């Protein structure tokens, strides 16, 4: 398994490294473009009392209009690059499975002395890692692009208006809504959901590959059907379990501070139950999709 992961990371690193360099390059380029523009920042208050930061290009006439247009193009370009990065990650995930296992390379991969389950896990774990890495890179790019002393100053100014007793209340409510017991549930649910989604994709491609012609189209169709089945199973379980769960907030009245805290506590209990149910559903789907993919790749495999 470690050897498979080593080669999978090596094969994907050469694809992700240029992608991340392009993302960072565009973010830095956008950042310098923004710095070069004569900014005008106005600080005011909107109708509900929130601080309103208004950013615009100073000056008048055709020059400033062109500048504003170019600025908006840089921002749109950056947004497109970031969205494109997520699309590229998705394409690489599909391509690594399709080309490396379902294509000619499959003749090598499926004759290595490893189990089909190990092949599936190596692909899924690697894709999961790169999914997180790509999301972090998107976040980093946005920070590079948007981080500005004036924005930081505005946020600080806004936060300083909240009195200390309100901070304590906010923290208490956050603890109620997200109790410590919910954290591991959410963490495992996040992993199960992502890995399960990958196994579902792999199952769909394995089904599509069993068809003689139009394998890609068949894979897309199989994915739609599998998603519908998962959705139906999930909604059935939720509709059965939800009425049985204690702590569903009802007749909510938020007239006092104690009622607000009680509500956050009830919401926390309720949501922890919901996440626990979601975890069970995600685990069921992940296990089901894994065994379906493993069965198809073991017994129905027919490389051309």
Contact positions vs another protein (CB under 8 A): 3, 6-7, 10-11, 14, 100, 104-108, 110-115, 298-303
Q: Which residue, 11 or 274, is less far from another protein as judged by CB?
A: 11
Q: Which residue, 10 or 156, is less far from another protein as judged by CB?
A: 10
Closest distance of CB 304 from another protein, Å:
8
H, E, C per residue of 16-73: HHHHHHHHHHHHHHHHHHHHCCCEEEEEEECCCCCEEEEEEECCCCHHHHHHHHHHHH
In sequence order, the β-bridge partners of residue 109 are none
Q: Which residue, 26 or 98, is less far from another protein as judged by CB?
A: 98
Q: Nearest Cα to 229, choosing from 196, 256, 258, 261?
A: 196
Closest distance of CB 302 from another protein, Å:
7
Closest distance of CB 89 from another protein, Å:
19
Q: What is the DSSP letter of 110?
A: T
Closest distance of CB 114 from another protein, Å:
6
Whether the Cβ atoms of residue 134 and residue 16 lie closer than 8 Å to each other = yes
Closest distance of CB 289 from another protein, Å:
21
Q: Is the dihedral of CA 22, 26, 29, 35 positive or negative?
A: negative
Closest distance of CB 7 from another protein, Å:
6
Whether the Cβ atoms of residue 71 and residue 33 lie closer than 8 Å to each other = yes
Q: Which residue, 13 or 83, is less far from another protein as judged by CB?
A: 13
Q: Which residue, 255 or 299, is less far from another protein as judged by CB?
A: 299
Cα separation, 163 vs 301, whole angstroms: 65
Q: Which residue, 4 or 205, is less far from another protein as judged by CB?
A: 4
Cα separation, 188 vs 248, whole angstroms: 23
Cα separation, 294 vs 226, whole angstroms: 15
Task: For residue 241, give every residue at least 6 positions away whose Cβ sits within 8 Å of its Cβ, in sequence order, or none.
Answer: 277
Taking CA 53 as the corner, what is the angle to CA 50 and CA 54, rounded to the nearest 5 degrees? 130
Cα separation, 107 vs 304, whole angstroms: 9
Closest distance of CB 293 from another protein, Å:
15
Closest distance of CB 229 from another protein, Å:
25
Q: Which residue, 168 or 300, is less far from another protein as judged by CB?
A: 300
Q: Which residue, 54 or 302, is less far from another protein as judged by CB?
A: 302
């Amino acid at each position: 398994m470690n050897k498979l992961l080593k080669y999978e990371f090596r094969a994907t690193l050469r694809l992700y490294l240029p992608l991340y360099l392009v993302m960072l390059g565009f973010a830095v380029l956008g950042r310098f473009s923004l710095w070069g523009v004569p900014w005008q920042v106005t600080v005011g208050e909107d109708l509900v009392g929130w601080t309103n930061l208004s950013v615009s290009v100073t000056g008048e006439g055709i020059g400033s209009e062109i500048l504003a247009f170019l600025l908006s193009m840089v921002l749109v370009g950056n947004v497109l690059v970031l969205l494109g990065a997520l699309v590229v990650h998705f394409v690489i995930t599909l391509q690594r499975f399709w080309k490396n296992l379902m294509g000619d390379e499959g003749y090598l991969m499926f004759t290595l002395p490893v189990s089909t389950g190990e092949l599936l896990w190596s692909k899924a774990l690697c894709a999961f890692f790169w999914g997180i890495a790509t999301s972090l890179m998107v976040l980093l790019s946005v920070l590079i692009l948007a981080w500005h002393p004036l924005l930081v100053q505005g946020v600080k100014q806004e936060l300083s208006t909240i009195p200390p007793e309100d901070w304590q209340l906010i923290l208490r409510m956050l603890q109620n809504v997200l109790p410590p017991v919910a954290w591991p549930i959410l963490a495992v649910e996040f992993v199960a959901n992502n890995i399960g989604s990958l196994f579902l994709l792999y199952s769909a491609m394995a089904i599509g590959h069993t068809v003689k012609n139009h394998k890609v189209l068949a894979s897309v169709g199989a994915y739609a059907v599998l998603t519908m089945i998962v959705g139906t199973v999930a909604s059935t379980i939720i509709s059965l379990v939800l009425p049985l769960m204690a702590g569903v907030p009802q007749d909510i009245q938020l007239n006092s501070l104690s009622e607000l805290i009680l509500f956050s506590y009830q919401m926390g209990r309720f949501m922890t139950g919901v996440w626990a149910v979601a975890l069970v559903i995600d685990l069921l789907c992940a296990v089901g999709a894994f065994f379906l993919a493993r069965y198809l790749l073991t017994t129905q495999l027919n490389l051309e």
